[in-house]
Amino acid sequence: MKKNLLLLLFAVAAVSVKAQTLTNGGKLRPEQAIMDIRHYTIALNVDFEQKSIDGFTTIDVIMAQPTHVLLFNLLDSLGVSKVLVNNKPEPYKYKNNLITINLNKVLPAGKASVQVFYGGKPHVARRPPWDDGFIWTRDSTGHQWMSMTAEGAGGKLYFPCKDHPSDEPNEGVDMLITVPKGLVVAGPGLLQNVTKHGDKATFHWKTNYTINNYSIIFTVGDYAVVTRQYTTVGGHTVPVQFYVLKEHLDKAQHHLDIFVKTIHEQEKYFGEYPWVKEKIGIVETSYLGMEHETMNAYGNKFRYIKVGGEDYDEVMHHEFGHEWWGNKVTAKDWADYWIHEGICTFGDALYIREFDGEAAYIKLFQNDVFHIQNKTPIVQHADMDEESAYIGDIYVKGAFFMHTLRYIMGDSLFFPALKKFVTSPKYTYDNLVSTNDVEQFFTQEEGRNLKPLFDMYLRTTDKLEVHVKQTKLDQYVISLQNIAIPLPVDVTTSEGTKRMMVNEKGVTIVSNTLPVIDANTFYLKKVIIE
Ligand SMILES: [Zn+2]
């Protein structure tokens, strides 16, 4: 989602100025807890002169219980003109970013369809993608260019919804977006058709996959569509579509060459691309980037760095990694946001390892240690909202945790386990996950309880304490005092470096020099010389 490691401090600073209302998640309201969202249809006309939208959203739900009240989130920068429930008008109130529908008679449990007619000027982003909203601008040739981000604000930025990470529309979304003729709309899933009427055109985008609210996004510009066919690791042929501004068309083929390398690399570690029945998509945006399912926002302006001697786009690689970590594997509570950002950021490091080598990968994490703030645990408490959960450590410490886990388990166990998690039906698509799920899974794969390690890295700000006690002129005892499981540690003595299992009791080693502990920085640690 929001950033890569280089932008970490910049982004964290931006968070503090966000408006309080532009967040989502937190404690689920009881009126919404009994509601299962199945599908959204969003039909909007976009007026570029007025910077406004106008139309309706239809919400298909299954109610677990009969109810008198239906509750949907929508930022009250907009106006609602009519609400229909199962095609009948119903009274509603619209304030505090909530539409409260007080039904004329009890709605029975089961399927229901709610249609909300609305419009107005949606909230404008001040500093996207760290600050959410619509972005109205023009490209350098003067064409209208509109995009949006909503990870913090949530879907309620511009459509009425149940704005909580625990519920996605399991049957997907239809988007019918009308724009002035000549402009092109990019969206999730597959383009069904374009209908022209007068000086306008309606683009119908449709995804059948479950999708998070902040991926339900459309982008409008003077786009050309550059396509390729990609064969996945599972043997599926999937179209790659790049919605690139016409003014940058000459850059598209090289960009896709780089992108294909990114797709291969992510598939190698995380398994087949998750949305093979639809497409692999990127769309050029005026902001840096965001992981919108099957249509990732790309705004890094073709600024590449060299990895393995070849061009690499770290923003695109990161956002695309979220197709697995965030979109396919989704945390049901923002408290567990590190699963999206930490593991995705670890995936970025794996690209460096693949093409620049293990030493470059080690160096990356040795530098990252200095960016870990460790002010609060990365898993704070249940029912977090997005803004409160969004701290820099979910990226850098979350990634570092995976680095530590890799060292502890060893590559022959760790990499297959990581792929097994992200390809297991139990933890993907409709089945949302928590930190406990990750902990229990890796505990099972490792064959011993890893809870003390998960607790230390994720639920506290503690660091591993490694004690080094000299017992004779050339003899030392190495021990771990603040964790209840033995762990492997690299110990460098006058004889060289050995990996040894260390526990509370300690291991005795012989060395003519003071032993160096964990020289390659596999742990977030404190070394205490006694
Ligand atoms: Zn991200």
What is the CA(97)–ligand 1 centre distance, in A?
27
pLDDT tens-digit readout, 267-318: 999 999 999 999 999 999 999 999 999 999 999 999 999 999 999 999 999 9
160 CA distance to ligand 1 middle (Å): 25
CA of 344 to the centre of ligand 1 (A): 7
pLDDT at residue 519 is higher than 80 = yes
Among 76, 77, 65, smallest CA distance to 30 is for: 65
Ligand 1 midpoint to CA 2 (Å): 5
What the block records as the tokens of 527 is 């070394």
Ligand 1 mean position, distance from CA 315 (Å)? 9
| Angle 295-80-217 from CA coordinates, rounded to 5° | 5
Instruction: Tell me how far the alpha carbon of residue 6 lies from the centroid of ligand 1, in angstroms.
Output: 12
Say whether pLDDT at 98 is over 70: yes
pLDDT at residue 18 in the model:
41
Across 264-282, b (16+ Cβ under 10 Å) vs e yields ebbbebbbbbbbeebbbbb
441 Cα–ligand 1 center, Å: 23
Residue 254 scores a pLDDT above 50: yes
Ligand 1 centroid vs 103 CA: distance in angstroms? 40
Distance 511 CA to ligand 1 centre (A): 44
Q: How far is the CA of 313 from the centre of ligand 1 (A)?
A: 14
Residue 455 CB: number of other CB atoms within 10 A? 16
Interval between CA 116 and ligand 1 midpoint (Å): 32
Task: Give CA separation, 447 vs 111, 439, 440, 453, 456, in Å.
Answer: 44, 12, 10, 14, 19
Pairing of strands 310-312, 464-472: unpaired
256 alpha-carbon distance from chain centroid: 22
Q: How many angstroms separate the alpha carbon of residue 218 from the centre of ligand 1? A: 19
Calculate ∠ Cα 97-98-102, nearest 5°: 155
Crossing angle of the two packed helices 252-270 and 411-423, in degrees rounded to 10: 110
Give residue-wise pLDDT tens across range 446-490: 999 999 999 999 999 999 999 999 999 999 999 999 999 999 999
Whether 59 contacts 418, CB under 8 Å? no
What distance in Å separates the CA atoms of residue 199 and residue 431, rounded to the nearest whole number? 44
Q: What spacing in Å lies between the alpha carbon of 289 and ligand 1's midpoint? A: 9
List CB contacts of 290: < 8 A, sequence separation 6 or more: 1, 2, 129, 149, 151, 214, 217, 296, 297, 319
pTM here? 0.95
3-class SS at 86? coil
Q: For residue 236, how far is its CA from the centre of ligand 1 (angstroms)? A: 26
Q: Is 219 exposed, middle or buried (0-12, 13-18, 19+ CB in 10 A)?
A: buried
CA 293 to centroid of ligand 1, rounded, Å:
13
- CA–centroid distance, residue 298 to ligand 1 (Å): 13
Return the pLDDT at 15.
36
Sign of the C-alpha dihedral computed for residues 367, 371, 373 and 377 taken in this order = negative
* Residue 110, both tokens: 């089961």
Does residue 272 contact residue 422 with C-beta atoms inside 8 Å?
A: no
Centre of ligand 1 to C-alpha 216, Å, is 17
The rounded Å distance from CA 12 to ligand 1 centre is 13
Ligand 1 centroid–CA 342 distance in Å is 8
Q: How far is the CA of 90 from the centre of ligand 1 (A)?
A: 40
Residue 438: DSSP 8-state: H
* pLDDT for the residue 22: 85
Q: What is the mean pLDDT of the chain?
A: 95
Task: Tell how far the Cα of 483 is from the centroid of ligand 1, in angstroms.
Answer: 30
DSSP annotation of 300: S
User: Ligand 1 centroid to 125 CA: how many Å?
Assistant: 19
The CA 168 to ligand 1 mean position distance, Å, reads 19
Buried b (16+ CB within 10 A) or exposed e, 339-362: bbbbbbbbbbbbbbebbbeeeebb
pLDDT value of residue 1: 56
Report which secondary-structure segment, H or E, holds 37: strand 35-47
Nearest Cα to Cα of residue 324 among 444, 420, 220: 420
How many whole angstroms from 345 Cα to the centroid of ligand 1? 7
Dist. CA 299 → ligand 1 center (Å): 14
Q: What is the pLDDT of residues 226-237, one digit of tens each?
A: 999 999 999 999
Kindly give the distance from the C-alpha atom of residue 343 to the centroid of ligand 1, in angstroms, as a whole number.
9
Whether the CB-CB separation of 213 and 292 falls below 8 Å is answered with no
How many whole angstroms from 320 Cα to the centroid of ligand 1? 9
Bridge partners (DSSP) of residue 136 are 146
- Among 2-11, 68-77, 299-308, 416-425, the minimum mean pLDDT is found in 2-11
Helices 338-356 and 393-409 sit at what angle, rounded to 10 degrees?
Answer: 60
CA of 3 to the centre of ligand 1 (A): 5
Structure-block tokens of residue 307: 């990895």
Residue 130's pLDDT band (cuts 50, 70, 90): confident
Query: 518 with 489: CB under 8 angstroms?
Result: yes
Structure-token match 């109130």, residue found:
93
Residue 168 has φ and ψ, to the nearest 5°, of: -115, 155
CA of 335 to the centre of ligand 1 (A): 15
**What pLDDT shows up at residue 21?**
55
Q: What value does the mean pLDDT take over residues 498-510?
A: 97
Structure tokens, 121: 């000027």
Ligand 1 centroid to Cα of residue 340, in Å, is 7
284: nearest Cα among 256, 242, 254, 240: 242
Say how many Å lie between the CA of residue 196 and the centre of ligand 1.
37
Peptide bond before 122: cis, by omega within 30 degrees of 0?
A: no
Q: Is 425 exposed, middle or buried (0-12, 13-18, 19+ CB in 10 A)?
A: exposed
Show the DSSP H helices in 455-510 as ranges.
none
pLDDT of residue 85: 98
319 C-alpha to ligand 1 centroid (Å): 6
